[in-house]
Amino acid sequence: MDGLDFIISHTSAWIDVKSILALIFLIAVIVFFIVRYRKMRKIEKGLEEEMKAAGIEPESSNPDGHKA
pTM for this prediction: 0.53
> Sorting pLDDT into bands at 50, 70 and 90, what band is 2?
low
Which pLDDT belongs to residue 33? 95
Question: In the predicted model, is pLDDT for residue 67 greater than 90?
Answer: no
How far apart, in Å, are the Cα atoms of 51 and each of 22, 33, 45?
43, 27, 10
- The full set of domain ranges for the chain reads 29-53
Q: What is the pLDDT of residues 7-53, one digit of tens each?
A: 667 666 667 788 889 999 999 999 999 999 999 999 888 888 888 88
Contact residues for 57 (Cβ-Cβ < 8 A; gap 6+): 51
Which pLDDT belongs to residue 8? 66
